[in-house]
Amino acid sequence: MSTSRKYLPLFLDVGNRKVVIFGGGSVGERKATFFCEYADTYVLSAAFTPALHTLRKDGKVELIDHDLSSIPDEGLSELIDDAFLVIPATSDSSLNQRIIDVAKCAGVLINPVEYAGDVVIPSVIRRGDLIIGISTLGKSPALSKYTRRKLETVITPEYGEMVRLQEAIRSQLKQRVSDQATRRTILWEILDDRRVWDALTGSYEKAYNIAFTIMMDHIENTG
pLDDT tens sequence across 11-40: 999 999 999 999 999 999 999 999 999 999
Mark whether 117 and 166 lie in a shared domain. no
Per-residue confidence (pLDDT) for residue 168, from 0 to 100? 97
What's the domain range around 140? Answer: 122-153
Residue 152 to residue 127: CA distance in whole angstroms: 9
pLDDT at 216 over 80: yes
- 8 within a domain of the structure (yes/no): no
Mark whether 135 and 183 lie in a shared domain. no
Model-level pTM? Answer: 0.84
Query: pLDDT grade, residue 2 (50/70/90)?
Result: very low
